[in-house]
Amino acid sequence: MTTPIEVRPAPDAGHRHKPAPALSALDDDALAELVGALGEPPWRARQLRQAAWQPYVASLDDIRQLPTPLREGLMARLRFITATVASERLADRGTTIKLLCALGDSQTVETVAMESPARGTSSRRATVCVSTQVGCAIGCPFCATGRMGLRRSCTPAEVIDQVRLGGQALHRHGLGPVTHVVYMGMGEPLAAYETTVASLRALAGHGGISPRRMTVSTSGVVPGIRRLGAEGLPVTLAISLHAATDELRDRLVPVNRAHPLDALIAAAGAYGRATGRRLSLEWCLIGGVNDGLDQATGLVRIARRLRAHVNVIPMNRIEGSPWGPPPADVSRAFLRHLSQAGLTVTVRDTRGGEADAACGQLRASLEPRRQLRPDGTLGPQRSGRPRS
């Protein structure tokens, strides 16, 4: 289901002059200084910041507690938000919302907001999945985003504002406030390291989201893992593993050629010790590729060494790929092998598939594609107009 959205030009699109600073990029002192320059006391800055995080506030005009002269002055000196919603799709009976977010230079990224109701001892949660890059340079052949190539990294404000837009979308559809953020959208978060860390700090600060409720996923950028472990941010680290041998992982996750499994496992272990956080190993289960018991045995070995949780994700079908999920009996045998080895395993709900919002399906529909060859390698980008 696609919901029509009024498409407005993204802030400062097409302007050659230096854009006004973004609200989400300013720290408290800078925001207070800006408000002070407009003749207002510092508490007005706190009022503005708090209002900006309310899901029913979409513009400065909506903050009626601010005096009209201050709102007008801020409109000329501040970008309230760095992205706009260009389109929206719903899935899972309205509890998964996929947003195509237009940035100031007309690039687009995709953001997904998901509501999960309380069940048993589990509390309700609303998760926003953010993108850190426009496209991705990693090139994993089972991921639609990886077939786009990379245009640029997002700014910290653009990542933060995806969370704000996700909160607004949840509110618009009668759902609750954001409780969790996962860096699992378009791009490799640790290849956009400064953006990732700055946005994590802001979300944990004025965003009010505990670092323990944030997860950063990486394909295995070892230097970035080591740096993140020293930041003092106890976020969960999710390793997109997908293969238990270097030979197969070189094919599925090309960054493995630079950072092979031994180095990745060592860095992940150091991260867990430094932060006290349990690691998560992500495994996209691909029929006939990494669903055999030999790979399951290797996964058990790695998970035991890292004392990690294992998250198995049956592959979602993507356009042009010869791959897909395994038959049900093969999946059951793989999972049985893991559970009999005593691992803590979950199977991720493939939410959002009907809206192309599930894992590995994220893509900006107007971007050129790279051709997926039958052997799983990537060809050059195709020119011309791709299908949306």
Q: Which of the residues are catalytic?
A: 110, 359
Give the DSSP per-residue string, 145-173: GGGSEEEEEPPHHHHHHHHHHHHHHHHHT
Give the DSSP per-residue string, 99-114: EEEEETTS-EEEEEEE
CA quadruple 39, 42, 43, 48: dihedral sign: positive
Q: How many CB atoms lie within 10 A of CB 184?
A: 22
Question: Rounded to whole angstroms, what are the CA distances from 301 to 305, 306, 330?
Answer: 6, 9, 20
Backbone phi, psi, residue 239, to 5° = -95, 120
Between CA 62 and CA 78 the distance in angstroms is 15
CB 74 within 8 A of CB 61: no
CA quadruple 26, 238, 284, 374: dihedral sign: positive
Between CA 251 and CA 69 the distance in angstroms is 59
